[in-house]
Structure 1
Amino acid sequence: MTTAAPPADREPVWHTSSYSNGAGGECVECAISSTRTRVRDTKKVDGPVVTVAGSAWAAFLQALKSG
């Protein structure tokens, strides 16, 4: 896992959680590519970004779905 910024030549496309309601909740947004997923705080778009391998993100999502 890293907290590095994305390459300057390619801006990520960020997607806000469907649970985000704009009322100041604790929400994140993700930018998914073929090899990695970036995650950041919706309220701090200029803040740190956590980057994980695509396979790790897929395993994380599967674990959430499984309970």
Structure 2
Amino acid sequence: MSTTELAWYKSSYSGSSGDSCVEVAITEQTICVRDSKDLGRPHFAVGRSEWSQFVGFVTEG
């Protein structure tokens, strides 16, 4: 799936000054992540269960 076909959402934790913008796009099988300040770089994608593990790890500190 190309980047233009994805519906990107800015993280609610990104600063309002635009200096730390992370965007995610959710597909049926993956979570895609990109840096909105540098759209020329490729995004990365991880499986839903791996994303859940990552979010769980981050929220537990």
Same fold (TM > 0.5): yes
TM-score by length of 1: 0.73
Q: Unaligned 5+ residue runs, structure 1?
A: 1-6
Task: Give the counterpart of 2:42 among 39, 45, 48.
Answer: 48
- Deviation, 1:23, is 1.7
User: Is the helix fraction higher in 1 or 2?
Assistant: 2
RMSD between aligned residues = 1.8
Structure 2's unaligned 5+ residue stretches are none
> TM-score, with normalisation over the residues of structure 2?
0.79
CA 1:46 to 1:22, structure 2 compared with 1: closer, same or farther past 3 Å?
Answer: farther
Residues 3-49 of structure 1 show CA distances to partners (whole Å, capped at 9, x for unaligned) of xxxx24x8111110112234242221100122101100011223211
Runs of 4+ in structure 1 over 3 Å off? none
Q: 1:39 and 2:27 equivalent?
A: no
**Number of aligned residues:** 60
